[in-house]
């Protein structure tokens, strides 16, 4: 078994301080870090020597790259050498230090700002830097905690086991015997990043005022990025993130490290050491007797719960942050890069999935407006066929054949060509899912994230009582007044495959919904489905029409699908049905069905016995020998 820990470098979330699992508050020696552009402006006002020196360090390598690009363009080889330009940009960002690395990683998720070729190169940015001096690290631990090092840890490794842009990690043991990972921040990190963000925000203001064709809010993007970066530099925030994550997503297959608050401060984080194997180390996972594909499926389903259920999600699930534990659990570590997605955004994403399945690209384009990718005054007419071109081929494939990366690559081109403004939460979601798919394909070349994700989406559509999802379910199941049984069967078949699908509870919720005020539309459609057959106008009441037979056949298949699930207990439905039968809505539905059936039966009776048979009348007029026509009755 190989031991791993993690150093992250990415954005945090603005989670407020909450009590820990033990009920104690996180100990913080200093106020929480927050980005304040006005405070930075006051701090660096008049310090032109410091600002100009760093400004020159930041700008010079980019001017060299720009000169190379113009030289290649003049020679007519710019397109040929563009991959080299992208690679050089990645090298420059790495050389400029933590702030530049973070900016490059953030840009790698912004298809509205960066062309697809540069996106791919920026995605290769590694959050790794040489370690800093151990003596400085140990002195910082002592000054932050306020105790000598030997009183804090019984033993601490003399060298770090990992080093990243914001800090480095040591393995240690507490005096109580627990093995821990100790994350220590780089010296003067806050000062260096503050100066960089002051300069970069000034450049964003200048660019926005100078280049009128820039459609994105550069200043807003910089400020949002800076806010997240400041939160990540506060290790107490990361500790709170870890505890909130475990509280929200506690599951027998999911684990997160314990935080030791008495030895955690703004620049020092002490957390439980996790013994595990990186998900990319296939041979070691196999040797440990673990199922790598199942671990990835756990990760995909956990990510979907984060994105679509609670909205608090781990935005950096790279291979170093996901570990396979010996007991088969999937451990998440490093909670510096967390983000949140609001309820209306979560429901908006599910609505977009429904419109995609329905091939309703007009509604899909409007979804992008509702989700704030496009401004309300955007002309959607040229965007609709572009979206159709991206998704039409994909939607011709089965869910199991879909490749998430190929779709997002094509969509990135559309977002670059049209006036899209990618919200931060969406960029982080795409990064998260692409990372999971990349890990998964390493384990199984045929693995498709979307095929694993669809059962969860189906389960949410069938069971979530939110009004927004009830509308989405109606859009999915009804087309121009016609009920699409195949869609319901497919949803149910996939939902049953979701490990969190409570079949018995879902049926109870479904019946409660149907026989409630909000389910009125479904009751009306149910009556229409039963009595919708045109042929039923002429058939005998004793003989079911072909459409009625089809409906019965669909219901039979649904019953078989339910019965095949081991969790389904038909006898447990009787109390539920008895409870529903007492509801006024159920009694009203019964009266509607009886009334419609009596009307249809009476109409058939009149046609067959009291009104003339049209074929007989025609035959009689032509001299036929059929029975005489019955005299017509006026009504």
DSSP 538-579: TS-TTS--HHHHHHHHHHHHHHHHHHTSTT--GGGHHHHHHH
> What backbone phi and psi angles, to 5 degrees, belong to 122?
-65, -25
Cα(37)–Cα(22) distance, integer angstroms: 36
Give the residue among 144, 90, 101, 96 at the shortest CA–CA distance from 7: 101
For the stretch 354-361, contacts whose Cβ atoms lie closer than 8 Å and that sit 24 or more positions apart, written own/partner, are 354/461, 354/472, 354/473, 354/475, 354/476, 355/475, 356/391, 356/395, 357/395, 357/476, 358/475, 358/476, 358/479, 359/391, 359/392, 359/395, 360/475, 361/385, 361/387, 361/388, 361/391
**Could you tell me if 18 and 244 are in contact, meaning their C-beta atoms sit under 8 angstroms apart?**
yes
Other beta carbons within 10 angstroms of residue 184's beta carbon come to: 28
Q: How far is CA 58 from the centre of its chain?
A: 35
316 is catalytic: yes
Residue in 127, 316, 334, 367 annotated catalytic: 316
How much of the chain is in helix, strand and coil states, percent to nearest 5? 60, 5, 35
Between β-strands 478-479 and 330-332, what pairing exists: parallel, antiparallel or unpaired?
unpaired
- What SS3 class is residue 59? helix
Cα(506)–Cα(497) distance, integer angstroms: 14
Which pair of tokens denotes residue 195? Answer: 């100066």
Dihedral, 350, 353, 355, 358 alpha carbons, nearest 10: -130
Cα(422)–Cα(20) distance, integer angstroms: 34
DSSP 347-416: HHHHHHHHHHHTT-HHHHHHHHHHTTSS-TT---TTHHHHHHHHHHHHHTS-GGG--HHHHHHHHHHHHH
Dihedral, 563, 565, 570, 572 alpha carbons, nearest 10: -170
Cα(229)–Cα(209) distance, integer angstroms: 25
Other beta carbons within 10 angstroms of residue 451's beta carbon come to: 17
DSSP 573-599: HHHHHHHHHTSHHHHHHHHHHHHHHHH
Side-chain-side CA neighbours of 388 within 13 Å: the count stands at: 12
Which pair of tokens denotes residue 28? Answer: 């913080």
3-state secondary structure 4-55: CCCCCCCCCCCCCCCCCCCCCCCCCCCCCCCCCHHHHHHHHCCCHHHHHHHH
Which pair of tokens denotes residue 572? Answer: 């447990």
Length of the chain: 635
Cα(248)–Cα(312) distance, integer angstroms: 9
Which pair of tokens denotes residue 582? Answer: 């007492």
**Beta-carbon contacts of residue 411 (< 8 Å; ≥ 6 apart):** 111, 390
Give the residue among 318, 555, 538, 543 at the shortest CA–CA distance from 442: 318
Active-site residues: which are they? 316
């Amino acid at each position: 078994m190989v031991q791993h820990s993690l150093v992250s470098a990415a954005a945090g979330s603005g989670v407020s301080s909450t009590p820990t699992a033990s009920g104690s508050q996180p100990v913080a020696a200093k106020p929480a870090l927050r980005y304040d552009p006005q405070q930075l402006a006051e701090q660096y006002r008049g310090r032109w020597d410091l600002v100009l020196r760093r400004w020159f360090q930041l700008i010079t390598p980019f001017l060299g790259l720009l000169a190379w690009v113009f030289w290649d363009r003049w020679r007519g080889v710019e397109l040929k050498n563009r991959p080299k330009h992208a690679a050089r940009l990645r090298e420059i960002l790495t050389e400029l230090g933590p702030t530049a690395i973070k900016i490059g990683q953030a840009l790698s998720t912004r298809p509205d700002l960066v062309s697809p070729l540069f996106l791919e190169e920026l995605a290769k940015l590694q959050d790794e830097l040489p370690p800093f001096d151990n003596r400085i690290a140990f002195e910082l631990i002592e000054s932050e905690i306020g105790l000598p090092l030997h009183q804090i840890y019984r033993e601490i490794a003399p060298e770090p086991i990992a080093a990243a842009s914001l800090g480095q990690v040591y393995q240690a043991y507490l005096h109580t015997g627990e093995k821990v990972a100790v994350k220590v921040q780089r010296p003067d990190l806050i000062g260096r990043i503050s100066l960089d963000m002051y300069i970069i925000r000034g450049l964003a203001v200048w660019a926005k005022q100078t280049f009128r064709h820039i459609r994105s809010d550069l200043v807003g993007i910089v400020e949002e990025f800076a806010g997240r970066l400041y939160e990540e530099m506060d290790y107490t925030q990361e500790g709170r993130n870890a505890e909130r994550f475990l509280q929200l997503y506690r599951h027998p297959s999911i684990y997160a490290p314990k935080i030791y608050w008495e030895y955690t401060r703004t620049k020092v984080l002490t957390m439980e050491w996790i013994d595990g194997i990186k998900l990319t180390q296939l041979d070691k996972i196999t040797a440990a007797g673990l199922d790598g594909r199942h671990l990835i499926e756990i990760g995909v389903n956990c990510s979907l719960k984060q994105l679509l259920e609670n909205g608090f999600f781990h935005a950096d699930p790279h291979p170093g942050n996901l570990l396979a534990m010996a007991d088969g659990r999937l451990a998440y570590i490093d909670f510096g890069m967390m983000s949140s997605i609001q309820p209306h955004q979560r429901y908006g994403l599910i609505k977009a999935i429904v419109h995609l399945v329905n091939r309703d690209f007009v509604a899909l384009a409007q979804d992008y407006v509702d989700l704030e990718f496009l401004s309300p005054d955007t002309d959607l007419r040229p965007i609709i066929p572009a979206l159709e071109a991206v998704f039409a081929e994909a939607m011709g494939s089965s869910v199991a054949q879909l490749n998430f990366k190929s779709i997002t690559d094509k969509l990135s081109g559309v977002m670059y060509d049209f006036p899209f403004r990618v919200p931060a939460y969406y960029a982080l979601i795409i990064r998260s899912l692409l990372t999971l798919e990349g890990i998964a394909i390493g384990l199984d070349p045929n693995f498709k994230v979307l095929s694993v994700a669809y059962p969860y989406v189906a389960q949410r559509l069938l069971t979530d009582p939110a009004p927004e999802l009830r509308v989405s379910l109606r859009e999915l199941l009804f087309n121009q007044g016609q009920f699409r049984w195949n869609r319901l069967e497919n949803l149910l078949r996939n939902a049953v495959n979701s490990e969190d699908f409570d079949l018995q509870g879902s049926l109870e919720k479904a019946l409660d919904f149907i026989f409630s005020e909000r389910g009125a539309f479904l009751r009306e459609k149910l009556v229409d489905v039963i009595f919708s057959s045109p042929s039923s106008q002429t058939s005998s009441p004793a003989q079911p029409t072909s459409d009625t037979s089809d409906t019965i056949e669909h219901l039979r298949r649904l019953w078989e699908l339910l019965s095949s699930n081991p969790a389904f207990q038909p006898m447990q439905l009787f109390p539920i049905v008895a409870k529903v039968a007492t509801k006024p809505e159920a009694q009203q539905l019964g009266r509607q069905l009886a009334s419609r059936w009596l009307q249809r039966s009476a109409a058939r009776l009149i046609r067959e016995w009291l009104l003339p048979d049209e074929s007989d009348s025609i035959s009689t007029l032509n001299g036929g020998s059929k029975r005489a026509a019955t005299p017509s009755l006026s009504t």
